[in-house]
Structure 1
Amino acid sequence: MDIKTATALHRLRLISVPEALSFPALLIFGSLLSRISDIDFLMMPLGALHGVLFVIYALFLLDVWNKAKWPFKRVAFFFLLAVLPFGGLYGDKQLKRYEAEAVSASRARREAAVEA
């Protein structure tokens, strides 16, 4: 893996937590608020915000798939985590490990090139 792969993994990590929290925090909160009060106008912007975060997550996941050459099962697993409430929080832990591996592999490759 190279530094571009580590960067793509880092970007995916950065969006995974906000995306994971947007479903329960925004949509469920907005839905409850609209049911117990007359504040119906919040649902559309909250839903749009969650949708934008989900689309960004999906695009970053495709970028990681392309750069890291992940198997389809792993990509499908991370996509499923994005659909589940709080699933991205577990995904963030996994992505942190993959990112650390990519960074250490990049450093080892760079050090081997310098020594050669």
Structure 2
Amino acid sequence: MLTHLKTNLGRLRLLALLEGLSLIALVFIAMPVKYMGSDPTLVKVIGPIHGVLFILFVLYTINVSIEENWQFLRTTWKVLLASIIPFGTFYVDKTILSRQKEV
């Protein structure tokens, strides 16, 4: 895991994991507690965290795309699209990001 922190691509993969996990926490933990338990506290905490991770993922994808000279129509748009599809970051990490060469 620490080797991921040494490269921009590795950090993007780690950010994809965190963004996906925050969505899972939001959808499967915080939202049920809000609506079934009538307590919006977790949504108020996890929601903004997920929002920040989402924005960081999009910005970091653009940054890595420029630095790694990804072709927009071949790679970049797929990674960006994954950020708006629920749990898409897990899929894109497995199918695209893990196959990129870390420099």
Q: Which structure is higher in RCO with an 8 Å CA cutoff and minimum separation 6?
A: 1
Look up the match of 2:90.
Answer: 89
- Counterpart of 1:72, as a letter, is F
Gap runs ≥5 in structure 1: 1-5, 104-116
Q: TM-score, normalised by structure 1?
A: 0.73
Greater Cα radius of gyration, structure 1 or 2: 1
- The answer to which structure has the higher helix fraction is 1
Gaps in structure 2 of 5+ consecutive residues: 1-5
> In the alignment, does 2:56 pair up with 1:52?
no
TM-score, structure 2 normalization:
0.81
In structure 1, what is the Cα distance between the partners aligned to 2:7 and 2:40? Answer: 40
Query: Shift in Å at residue 102 of structure 1?
Result: 4.0
* Equivalences, count: 96
Percent identical pairs in the alignment equals 33
Q: Post-superposition, which runs of at least 4 consecutive aligned residues in structure 1 deviate over 3 A?
A: none
Q: 5 Å matches for 1:1-116?
A: 7-73=7-73, 74-93=75-94, 94-98=96-100, 101-103=101-103
